[in-house]
Copies of this chain bind each other. A is one copy, B any other.
């Protein structure tokens, strides 16, 4: 998005203002300034003003560039004002001053069209140094985006002054406010805070634990308000939302934070489709205008189709290059003999074509692509080849020896490939091969785009992915109980409910994931509201100890309305809107990748007194 949006945020609000004094002040109300540093224009010439901010730059002991969150304004020391000169002469950059003066037009030819205030300057009457900075700052605000992250996070308050972070954090506030206006003012939702100190939720992510003053008793920090929002529905709050802080201890997974924020929504007496339409309306309402309108309703794709065509349950539909099943064609050659008998049973061949890309993929890029694809093959034997198409359907590939020309012809035809195209072909057991091909599709696309090929459309492609299986096979080797694909509260599709007992792996859930440009930004479902169904799923299918969810089971027996909801990942959504590389750039004080805070040094050791108070000892595990 364009930086100009930042300044749009500070236009007078569209909200109808009631009970306000006649003097409308907005960002300057209750503050020791008459204007922000981004506010003065030619129409203000002659006006007496007071500005406060940081010294960004000075030159010739005459010009000072004063910065605040809203922009920069040039201050000018009149030649005769020796007292000001003395105050300003040796002041370190990033010191804080307030300045009184009069707005003047800049001399002819000295306008700065890059600055919003570039047509004017302030001729100083006086300044006050409010706080002097040290002269040896670890980095300047302007260079902060390029500083290595550990140093940036240690001096986060310096980086926060940079216009990129000001824009991201302020836009986040604005988007959250618009969400609230839409949910509360337009659709009558109620903002309800739910506890974060709770008891462990069975299944799901690892939760942080919090010792209490009762020996051996711990709270768990909630990974989401899931149970509470369902209990609110049972409690008659039929339209709930919360911008909810959630906690997950995911160890060292990339791009995750130990605490994160989700837009949490739940409704009673509704349907999957109603919730989808609500969310489409919500996102349409908050979407920044300069990013273009988003077309609603969003398209819907089944999990099965997503896996088949994109090899992933969160497809990036901004480009095609779909996965194509060429298993039958490949079987015509003897190719599957390369694999052991255990793989042959489930053998598949999957291919995709990237047009006119053969000359762009170097040998080393090819190797790195195939190498990284192999790294994803966990315990299974997969083969990948990259084929550069030559005239006459000739393949330039090590594989050509093992395929008949007929097979190559038929695969090439199926893909519509011609000379100069690249074909990616993968061979192996289907359930491992499909996700690997999905990853290769993204990686090759990323590689080509770094070379300047324009594959992805300039759109924001929202997509609902639906009809996920309700359960997944156990991850344990000895075949333990099934696992929830999402969580144990998702309702089955009504037409599949009869399969719960006979064939649970075939039951599809009323779950919906919201995907934006290949990132999952939300997920939700219609929940089970019948206590007997919930009990059957927990006890018989998932084989969970019901003690952990007894309160929910009891609640469902006390008159539970049908209900469903969704949670949007706010950090990731903002990261996409702000086009940042990391969610850390849309969070004011993020933790580093390993969950540390380089600024304060958290986490730290605790005192013996605290250990005693919480009845814990530190154990050194090897």
State the A residues within 8 Å of B (CB): 10, 13-20, 25-27, 29-33, 52, 54-55, 68-69, 94-96, 98, 130-134, 137, 155-161, 165-166, 169-170, 172-174, 176-177, 180-181, 184-188, 190-200, 206, 208-221, 227-228, 231-232, 234-239, 245, 247, 249, 251, 258-259, 261, 267-271, 274-275, 277-278, 284-285, 529-530, 551, 554-562, 587-589, 591, 595, 597, 599-606, 610-621
Contact = CB atoms under 8 A, between A and B. Distances in A.
26 contacts: A17-B186, A18-B285, A26-B187, A27-B188, A29-B186, A31-B270, A33-B269, A54-B236, A54-B559, A68-B236, A130-B561, A130-B562, A131-B559, A134-B557, A155-B554, A157-B231, A158-B558, A160-B236, A169-B192, A173-B190, A193-B261, A193-B587, A196-B259, A199-B604, A209-B610, A217-B603
Contacts of A621: 215, 612, 615
B604 A218 contact: yes
A452 B235 CA distance: 37
Nearest to A177: B184
B184 A173 contact: yes
Contact of A588 (B192, B559, B560, B602): B192
B212 A210 contact: no
A88 B424 CA distance: 63
Nearest to A28: B188
Given A157-B555, A186-B13, A191-B177, A615 B615 contact: no
Given A131-B530, A558-B94, A210 B210 contact: yes
Nearest to A187: B29
A488 to B, nearest CB: 15
B274 A31 contact: yes
A15 B15 CA distance: 7
Contact of A134 (B217, B261, B558): B558
B170 A190 contact: yes
A559 B228 CA distance: 44
B54 A239 contact: no
A615 B604 contact: no
Nearest to A18: B285
Contacts of A133: 557-559
Given A18-B285, A213-B249, A269-B32, A166 B237 contact: yes
Contacts of A597: 195, 198-199
Contacts of A217: 603-605
A350 to B, nearest CB: 38
Contacts of A181: 15
B188 A26 contact: yes
A187 B30 contact: yes
